[in-house]
Every structure is written in structure tokens, then in C-alpha cells.
Amino acid sequence: MTPFSNLAAAGKRCLPCLPVALLITLLLAACVAQPTVPTRSEPSQQTQPPALPPTTAPAPATTLPPLQPAPPPSHPLPSAESFPKTLAAAGAGPAVLALAKRAQTFRSADRHQDALGQYQRALRIEPKNAFVWQAIAETHLALHNVEQAESAARKSNSLARGNPWLELGNWRVIAAALGVYGNSPAAQAARTRADEISTVLAASGANVSGGAAAALPASSSAVP
Amino acid sequence: MIRIKSPLLRWLLIGLAISFSVGLLGLSLWLVRLDQDVRARYAGVRWVLPAQVYASPLELYPGARITVTELRRELERLGYRASDELTGPGTFALAGSELRIDTRAFAFWDGVQPEMRLAIKSDASGLSAIRAMGSDAAIDLLRLDPMLIGSIYPSHSGEDRVLVKLSEVPPLLPATLIRVEDRAFADHFGISPKGILRAAVSNLFSGRGRKQGGSTLTQQLIKNLFLSNEQSYGRKINEALMAILLERHVSKDDILEAYLNEVWLGQDGSRAIHGFGLASQFYFNKPLNELRPAEIALLVGIAKGPTVYNPRKSPERVKNRRDLVLQLMEDGGLIRDDEREAEALMPLGVLNSVTGGVERYPAFIDLVRRQIKGLYREEDLGSEGLRIFTTLDPRAQERLEARIIADLPDLEKNRQLKPGSLQAAGVVTSVEGGEVLAMVGDRNVRYPGFNRALDSRRPIGSLAKPFVYLAALADPSRYNLYSSIADEPIDLKMPNGSHWAPKNYDHKLHGNVPLHVALAKSYNLPTVRIGLDIGVDRVHDLIEAAGLQGPPRLPSMFLGAIDASPLDVAQIYSTLAASGYLTPLLAIREVMTKEGQPLSRYSFQLKQTLPEGPVYLTTWAMQKVIEFGTGRWAVSVLPAGQKFAGKTGTTDDARDSWFAGFGSDRVAVVWVGRDDNKPVGLDGAAGALRIWGRLMRDLDARGIDLTPPAGVEEAQIDPVSGLLADAGCAAQVTVPFLSGALPKDYAPCANAGQSSPLEWLKDIFR
């Protein structure tokens, strides 16, 4: 989901809010000043696809095989800070937090298999928790299970619902996982995608160096 | 010196002396050999330790969606005893609104969880608080010990056992055993002349009939371990000599421990129950150290002969025997007089049904056997005592069983079918992680025979249709959920010259129908039309990508001419339910050695094999199956306000009745039909759907998350034309489309935008 689509979705559900939403979007766009990315109008009403830079045709994360250029630079975020950066901030229950803590202890001790087991227990309790999926991706990466790392990171992206912090971390895992086979176009695209999100986050004033976004594979984490 | 005059006598005596010496030499040599033999054989005794199979442990945490009643049920299933107060591990007590539990310690793969004394509170939504008793410390998470659901024992001997150590058994057990079987055990040297004499005298006076044995525990052990059951003096002498030799090499404690693990204590079909560890589970469904004196007395009592003293068949006889043992316990000072009286009043307490055996969840154990086969050698599985931790959720399993047991007779009654003529199978899996939670392979859920959930490969009928529509929806330039599809006759000339002219199930034509309605109402002709347009290969590839190999590349595949088992169907529907991510279904989580060392953990493998956006659209259409399509009956039983996706499946002449579907956390597949493949007169909706709907309700399954994923946008659509709607349209529906593939035109009802504020705003910024 593009960061924009939250706004668009809000607009669809509340037609009178739409002009307001559009104005806010425009203002934000102006602030960040990204002239190459045109502001999109209400998606459900447009009669033709938005004009996009020719080299970056939209490639949804879901297409198979997932080895094409990543989607274009993100639009400015309505408010990146409104998205939770950590598992705790995302409202995970105490059981999942306790498991994540145990997993973190295992990870610190280089016991990644054991950490993975804890995350999988957490997943049985909160199966759609994108932070847990991200942690699984990072742990697989530490274990050099690159295919599983990539898949879990994509799964986390599917469940991230536009959370740029999660997406940033996931693209970094994907880039690292694909990078194992050398600097393929797919790895490069994933890295570019991560850099773009990072740039947009920085431009919107968010502190990119903290939270999940800072996470370079395996070392960092979205869990406390 | 005595002179022997007769030469004959002299030669006789010399001969005697020589033969005595030779005999003595021979005996000595034989004893030496026997000694070596005993030592070698005893050292080589490797207990046949079948792999033990456990269900998944119940995780308890604040927020867990389980009621106190369900929790009590779970505790009873695990053999916990209700009492007024906690009296040790394996007990629980209700104190006002609080449920108190003294949990058993258990060695999990990630560490030992010690015994804990808990106080648990709950509210309407589930568990609300867990704290350690005697402190205010809140507990975030713990596991109950997992249920032992079976063992994988070698088929040739059928020997099953759970190994125990002498140091870990309650001291009353060996003490009672010695008191009853071999009073002089501590003092004799392997055989007990006094015992033999007593037995001989007793047998002399009792005449024929009940004979007393003079065998010591050591002799009994020798017999059980090395000798046949043959009753001969030769064998008796051998046994006695070997017992004496064994005592020279092995301590009394080792002999006792070996006896505790070797003795045969019961039979469960082809499975032989060996040792007190397993017998405790087999008869009382709890570990040995939780047995009360009456229960120990019972087990020691039946060691005399489990066929004669079978507590399930001859409770009276066994009670007399148990009370006799209790009396011997008192005589030996092992229990007090008042204790004996109280214990003798206790009922036998033996479970009616066998809980620990493969007979309990035969279909699931069958799956575990097959999945583990490639991972370990057969002989290791039967002998190394591996501990296999599985994904089985006993609560889900119980609900699936209950539905099939209750609903099949109803279906037969409603359709005036012969009672017992229908068969059924069912599978429940988790959406994320691909765990098989429950499986039934026969309407007689304990019957360990033909496993329909795995081995009954039947045509899946309309269960294949979602993949035809998925193939179409993945091509947004040609299809969306409101594309108009002609429901018109099709006559296809096949390569072999024959004609294929499929019909709708209701033998009617419905004109032009929106694509999602064609799926919801399971119309055959529009499905074939779409399939032919998209191509057999595309649909074939999607079904393979979802996890079912080898569907035939024929147009009849669109209507489900694909043979698959219920587990196969669960696999491909799981991939849909998990937004296009394939996870091969697993039944095993971890394997540990008998010492509790982790051996392997089986993480699920994940791969995105179907495109997420089109899967979302297909799932949307599958929700319509339940909203207004062939599955709408389920609305009457599913929780209001929650959306589930599914599909009915019916094969020619209604031979097979299928339903497969999912919410956000559970996938369930149900098949109903006949083993002889005769028509059952039930379509998917009239048969399997009834079981599926109630099952999902009973499982407390959660509805689907309706937030569109990336790459999907929603739009307001005029349901008549399938085009964009605006304020001018009286009826509007919200419909998802792949991004960039929204309808371009406005519906006739729409004001077409000219004067709308949106257009005005757009114009300004253009």
C-alpha cells in the first residue's frame, strides 16, 4: 500500500472530507518538494492511471516472481510518526512481548534457531502481527536462510498496512537477502526502495535512525 | 581306607567318579558360558522405547480466548484432578471466581518449565489475569504440559513403554512390589529357597487350580527378558541359574528398575503396555508420581496377570485384588490402617476409554507417521524413545470430531438415507504457519483404519472454481469482479472427436451474470467460458502454485475433475487464505531425545506463489458464496458481522459433498460421501456445508480482515452496470479492483461527474 492510499481510502469513505484530504496532501507534497512525482487525485475517480516516471512502473510487492524493480519513490507520508515503530507501540499483547523479549535474548546470544522458535510461538498468538513477521525475516537472515528471510519480509510488508517503518526494515532485509547472490537488479531495486522510504521519512522530519527503520538486518529490531 | 573287593563295584565307583568329575567340569564350563551369556545379554538389553507423540501444549496468557469451562475441560483431558485445594502437581481447584492450578513441570524444547501454582481469572472475552499464587507477580505466558497422544512403536512386537527411573518413582511403588511379589528380595541371592519351599507346600495343599509361584523378582525379570513362556523343568533350572548369576553382576536397584520398566501390564489391541510408566498413563491418564496408594496397589496387583486382572473387563476381580494388595501394604507397614480403609473405599479410577493410544486420534497419528518417515529411521522411531511434538490442537480436534459424530446422522435422517451409509473426513489447519490442527478420517473417529483425510482422493468438483476465477482476476485488462459473463450453452469438440457440453447444476441458464455472482452461485457455464478464455495452462499452473501437483490439463478441470484428498484441498485453500503465500502443511514442530535434548525443530517454509491482489479479489468473491451464494446457509450459524470465504463442491450425481473455507485464522475442509462412490443425494451445500459452518462456529474462528492490501483499491460501483457510481446512483456497492484497473466509465445512473465538486477540484490542480 502506498502511504498515500490511507488518505485516499479515507477520502472514499467520507466524500465531504475529500477536498480537505487533498489539500493536506498537496501541502505535504509541496513541503517535501518532489516535483517528479505528481500528486495523485482521488484514485477511484480518475479516468486514467497517474503519470509516473517511465523507469519506475508500479510493481506491486505481490507479483511473482518478486524480482522486478520496486515501486516508485513513496509519496510523502501524511504522518510517519503516527505509525508504530515497535512491537510494543503496535499494541502487541503481553504474551507476545514476553516471547519477543526471550527471542531477543536468544538473538543476542547468537542462538537464532531458538529465537525463531519463540517468534513462531508469538505468531500462533498473533498471526497477523507484521512486527513478528519482520523479526522472523531478520532471524532467517541471520541464519542465512535467505529465501525464508525474503518471504517473511514480504509477508510482513503485506501485513504492514502502509507502516513505513516496517516497510523500510523489510526492504532492507529483502535487499540483504537478495544481495547474497551478488548485486542483482532485484537486490539493487530493493535497496533503492529502502533508500527511498528512508529519504521520504527523513524529509518528513521523522527520526530514521531510531526504531525499526534503523534496523540493519539481524542486528536491529522491531522488538523491544 | 576301605577296600572294595568286588571288581565290578570298583569299576562302577571309578566310573561314577569320572563321570561326576566330567559332569562337574561340564557344569562349570556351562556355568561360565551362561554367566558370559547373562552378562552379554543384560548389557545388551536395549529397551524398546517407542517415539512418544505429544499434542501442542495449551498456551495460557491474559487475553487467551478460552473460557474457564474450556480450561477445566483441558485440565481434565490432561488428567489433572479437581479438589478443594491444590495438593501437588496435576491438581486444580475452583475458588470463587478464580481457577487455581498446580501445573506439572515439563521439559519443552526451549527449556524446562517448572511446576507452578497459579491463580487465573477470566471474563467474557477469555482469560483476564494470571498470577503466581502467594505473590502478586503477574504471569505473561505459560504452557500446560502437552497431552501424550500416542506412540510410534514397532509393528512386529507391539511393545510400548514409557521409561522410568527408580529414583523418580514414588517409593511406595517398589516397596509394594517387593511386599507382594518377593518379600525377601533385599536378602536373597537371586532365588529364594524359602519362597520355593513355601510355594511348594502351599501348592501341595491347594491341590490343582491356583498355584503360587516361588519366583523372585530377579527370576521373573530373567524370564521376561530372555526366556520363553514354556513351562518346563529345564527352563526353570536355567532361569534360577541365570538369576543367581545376574545378581552377581547387577545391583538390586538396577534389577528393580529393570523390572519396573519391563513388566507387561496390559494390552491395547496389538499394542502391549510395558512398564509402570506407561501403565500409569494407560489406566489413569497421569504420571506415575501423581498416583495415590490405591492406584499403585491396582497396578502392582494386575502385574500378576493382566489378562485375568483387566480392570476394564473385570472390575470386581481387580478391586478384590487391589484391596488385597492394600492389606499387604498395611501389613508391611507401608500405609496406616486408616489410610488403607480410606483407599479401599476409592473407586478403581480407571479411565473407560484408552487415552494415550494411537486409537485416540488415529488419523492425525497416521499423518505424523508419514511426515516423520522420511526424517528418521524406522528402527530409531520404534526404539530410541524420541519425543515428537506435534501441531495437534486437542480442542480443535475434539470439536471436529463432535461435529462429524453429531451431524452425519442428522444428514442421513433428513435425506432418509440408511443410517451409517455416509462417510466423512475433515481437516482443520492454521492460516499462518500451515499447522494441521485437527484431522478426522472416518465417521468412527477412533477407528484406526482407512484414513479418508489422506487417502480418499475424490474429484473436488466446484472447489476448483476459485482458481479459474483467480486466473481471470489476475488479468485486470480483461476481468474484474463485475465483468459480465455470458451464461450460455457451451459445446466443445474434444481432440478425440467427442463433445463436451457441460450444464449448470440447476440445468438453467441465467443470461449475463457478474463474474463474482457466477462464482458465488457456482454456475458451471460461465466458469468454463472464463477458463477457456484464460487457458487450461494458466489455471493448471495456479493450482500447482497453490500446492496441488498434477491436475490434468483438460477443460473438465475447471469444474473440478481433479482427484484430491481433504488434506490436499486444505493445502490449496490455505494458500488462498494466507494471501497467496504457500506453506507446506506440517504436523510436527519439534523432536527431542528421550533425555530431553532438542534434536530438530521444523520451521514452516513460506513462499509467495500466488499474486496477493488477485487472491484478495477472489477471496472477496468467495465471501459472496456465503453471503448470498451456494453457501448462504452458513450465515445462520456463523457469528454475525464476521466474513468468511468458502466454496461448495459437488461431483456428478452428488457422489461427493465438499465444503472448504476459511476466516483469518482457520482453514477447514469437510468431505461427505460414500465409500462405494454411489450417489449420496447431497450437494456440497446440503451436506458438508452443514458440518463446516457449525465447525467454524465451534472453533471460534475469526472473520477475514477486510482491509485491501497494496495493489488493490476500492471503488463505488453501480451494481447493475458494474461501472463507476456517484451520487446520482441510488444503489452503490464498494468493490475492490486491482490498482490502475478501475472501470473507466461512469454508469448510466451517474451524474457523470461534470458538476461534481471533485471534478472542480481536479480542474483547479490540473
Q: Do B729 and B474 contact (CB within 8 A), yes or no?
A: no
Banded pLDDT at A61 (limits 50, 70, 90): very low
The pLDDT tens digits for B436-446 are 999 999 999 98
CA B738 to mean position of chain CA atoms: 41
Most confident range (mean pLDDT) of A66-80, B355-369, B619-633 is B619-633
Domain boundaries for CATH 1.25.40.10 within chain A: 81-224
**Closest among B486, B412, B425, B482 to B452, alpha carbons compared:** B425
Which residues, at least 6 apart from B203, have a Cβ–Cβ distance to it below 8 Å? B211, B212
Q: What is the pLDDT of residue B226?
A: 80
CA distance B641 to B627: 11
Nearest chain A residue (CA) to B579:
A158
Q: Which of B224-233, B399-408, B515-524, B698-707 has the lowest mean pLDDT?
A: B224-233
Inform me whether the pLDDT recorded for A63 exceeds 70: no
- Mean of pLDDT values over B172-181: 94
Pull the grid cell for residue B205: 495343599
Catalytic residue among B462, B483, B522, B565: B462
B/e letters for B701-719, b = 16+ CB within 10 Å, e = fewer, are bbbbeeebbbbbbbbbbbe
Which residues, at least 6 apart from B295, have a Cβ–Cβ distance to it below 8 Å? B280, B283, B284, B349
Active site includes B181? yes
For chain B, percent helix, then strand, then coil, each to nearest 5?
Answer: 40, 20, 40
Q: Which domains does chain B have, with CATH numbers?
A: 52-150 (3.30.2060.10), 151-344 (1.10.3810.10), 424-698 (3.40.710.10), 712-765 (no CATH)
Angstroms from B460 CA to nearest CA on chain A: 27
Give the best residue of B739, B744, B751, B766 to mutate against chain A (max A CB count within 10 A). B739
Torsion of CA B364, B366, B371, B374, to 10 degrees: 160
Q: Do A165 and A83 contact (CB within 8 A), yes or no?
A: yes
- Mean of pLDDT values over B372-379: 81
CA distance A147 to B761: 47
Q: What is the pLDDT of residue B757?
A: 54
- Mean of pLDDT values over B519-533: 97
In chain B, how many H helices and how many E strands?
Answer: 23, 32
**Closest among B676, B63, B371, B436 to A94, alpha carbons compared:** B63
Most confident range (mean pLDDT) of A53-62, B33-42, B282-291 is B282-291
Sign of CA dihedral B28, B30, B32, B35: negative
Binary contact (A95, B742; C-beta < 8 A):
no
- Mean of pLDDT values over B689-697: 98
Nearest chain A residue (CA) to B665:
A127
Residue in the structure block whose three cell numbers are 542486528: A219
Banded pLDDT at A207 (limits 50, 70, 90): low
This model of the complex carries an ipTM of: 0.85
**Closest among A178, A177, A174 to A158, alpha carbons compared:** A174
Sign of CA dihedral B26, B29, B31, B34: negative
* CATH superfamily membership of A81-224: Tetratricopeptide repeat domain (1.25.40.10)
- Mean of pLDDT values over B62-86: 92
Do the bridges between strand B51-54 and strand B387-390 make them parallel or antiparallel, or are there none, so unpaired? Answer: parallel
**Closest among B740, B708, B470, B577 to A71, alpha carbons compared:** B740
Banded pLDDT at B40 (limits 50, 70, 90): confident
How far, CA to CA in Å, does B117 sit from each of A54, B62, B114? 66, 16, 10
Q: Which member of A8, A63, A94 has the closest CB to residue B61?
A: A94
- The count of CB pairs under 8 A between chains A and B is 143
Q: What is the pLDDT of residue A44?
A: 36
- Mean of pLDDT values over B33-42: 84
Angle CA B346–B350–B354, to nearest 5: 170
Banded pLDDT at A213 (limits 50, 70, 90): very low
The pLDDT tens digits for B200-256 are 777 666 655 445 567 899 999 988 888 776 667 777 888 888 899 889 888 999 999
Strand partners, B586: B435
Residue in the structure block whose three cell numbers are 478425440: B496
Q: Do A77 and B69 contact (CB within 8 A), yes or no?
A: no
Neighbours of B451 (CB within 10 A): 24
Binary contact (A19, B433; C-beta < 8 A):
no
Question: Which B residues in the span 49-78 are in contact with A, Cβ-Cβ below 8 Å?
Answer: 59, 61-64
How far, CA to CA in Å, does B291 sit from each of A203, B171, B295, B298, B709? 69, 11, 6, 10, 55
How is residue B294 annotated by DSSP?
Answer: H
Q: Is B761 on the interface with A (CB under 8 A)?
A: yes
B/e letters for B373-407, b = 16+ CB within 10 Å, e = fewer, are eeebeeeebbbbbbbbbbbbbbbbbbbbbebbeeb
Neighbours of B312 (CB within 10 A): 15
Pull the grid cell for residue B47: 529397551
CA distance A42 to A16: 13
Pull the grid cell for residue A88: 510494543
Binary contact (A151, B606; C-beta < 8 A):
yes
Q: What is the pLDDT of residue B260?
A: 94
Q: What is the pLDDT of residue B2?
A: 64
Which residues, at least 6 apart from B679, have a Cβ–Cβ distance to it below 8 Å? B653, B654, B655
Pull the grid cell for residue B702: 475469526
Q: Which member of A43, A116, A158 has the closest CB to residue B713?
A: A43
Binary contact (A44, B109; C-beta < 8 A):
no
Angle CA B346–B348–B354, to nearest 5: 145
Question: Is pLDDT larger for residue B691 or for residue B159?
Answer: B691
CA distance B705 to B353: 41
Pull the grid cell for residue A176: 540483504
Residue in the structure block whose three cell numbers are 544481495: A179
Nearest chain A residue (CA) to B763:
A41
Binary contact (B710, A64; C-beta < 8 A):
no
3-class SS of residue B672: strand
Q: Which member of A44, A98, A151 has the closest CB to residue B607?
A: A151
3-class SS of residue B425: strand
Cis geometry, peptide bond prior to residue B193 (ω within 30 degrees of 0): no
The pLDDT tens digits for B87-136 are 999 999 998 889 999 999 999 998 999 999 999 999 988 999 999 998 88
* Chain B residues near residue A161 by CB distance under 8 angstroms: 707
Binary contact (A64, B610; C-beta < 8 A):
yes
* Residues found in chain B: 766
Inform me whether the pLDDT recorded for A55 exceeds 50: no
Run of H or E residues at B398: helix B394-414
Q: Is B146 on the interface with A (CB under 8 A)?
A: no
Most confident range (mean pLDDT) of A42-46, B539-543, B722-726 is B539-543
**Closest among A74, A66, A81, A32 to A192, alpha carbons compared:** A74
